[in-house]
Structure 1
Amino acid sequence: MSKTKTYKSDALAAVHETVADMFEAGVIDKRTMRHFDESCLTPVHPFSAEEIKALREREEVSQMVFALYLNVSKESVSQWERGQKKPAGTTLKLLSLISRKGISSIA
Structure 2
Amino acid sequence: MSKILAEIHQEVQGLHRTGFVDDVTMRTFDMLCLRPVKQFGAAEIRALRERENVSQPVFALYLNVSKKAVQKWERGEAQPNSAAMKLLTLV
TM over 0.5: yes
Unaligned 5+ segments in structure 2 are: 1-5
Structure (1/2) with the larger helix percentage = 2
Sequence identity (%): 47
**What is the distance in 2 between the residues matched to 1:75 and 1:19?**
44
- TM-score, normalized by length of structure 1? 0.59
Q: Which residue of 1 is the match for residue 10 of structure 2? A: 11
Deviations 1:22-73 (A, max 9, x none): 5xxxxxxxxxx6x973x31122111000000000011110000000110000
RMSD: 2.9
Q: 1:12 to 1:40 in 2, by over 3 A?
A: farther
Give the counterpart letter for 2:60 in structure 1: A
Q: Counterpart in 1 of 2:80? A: 87
Structure 1: how far apart are the matches of 2:79 and 2:23? 31
Whether the aligned pair in 2 keeps the contact of 1:13 and 1:40 (CA below 8 Å) is no
TM-score (norm 2): 0.68
Change in CA separation of 1:19 and 1:46 when aligned onto 2, cut-off 3 Å:
farther
Unaligned runs of at least 5 residues, structure 1: 1-7, 23-32, 99-107
**2:59 is equivalent to residue 59 of structure 1:** no
Structure showing greater radius of gyration is 2
- In structure 2, the residue corresponding to 1:46 is in which secondary structure? coil
Cα deviation code 1:54-97 (max 9, x no counterpart): 00011110000000110000000000000111012221111011
Cα distance change of structure 1 residues 41 and 53 upon mapping to structure 2, 3 Å threshold: same
Q: Which runs of 4+ in 1 moved over 2 A?
A: 8-15, 17-20
Q: How many residues align?
A: 78
